[in-house]
Amino acid sequence: MSTSNSTAENSIASEQTHRITGPHAEPPTVANATTYWRCESCERESIREQDLHRETFHADECEVIDQC
């Protein structure tokens, strides 16, 4: 039995500072609140996750572009 099964130790996402996260929920006080996805590197957001997997969506200096 392994004792190093904690999520924080084994999670690839916890090691990446430049990643796509979501879905995030807008506050209920926002009219027509929805969920959205965010690129943590260039801080751009979209309600469609597939947008974040296109190179043209990200800022020129974004480090996530290499993963698209």
Domain assignment present for 6:
no
Q: Is residue 32 part of a domain?
A: yes
How far apart CA 26 and CA 48 sit, in angstroms, is 14
pLDDT value at position 2? Answer: 45
How far apart (Å, rounded) are the C-alpha atoms in residues 3 and 20?
29
| 44: containing domain | 11-59
Q: Is the pLDDT of residue 23 over 60?
A: yes
Helices then strands (H, E): number in the chain? 2, 3
Backbone angles phi, psi at 7, to 5 degrees: -60, -45
Q: Containing H/E element for 38?
A: strand 35-39
The per-residue pLDDT for 67 is 81
* 29 inside domain: yes
Q: What is the pLDDT of residue 60?
A: 92
The answer as to whether 2 is a domain residue is: no
Q: Averaged over 27-51, what is the pLDDT?
A: 94
Determine, yes or no, domain membership for 25: yes
Strand partners, 36: 24
Tokens linked to 56: 């043209």
Residue 22 lies in a domain: yes
Into how many domains does the chain fold?
Answer: 1
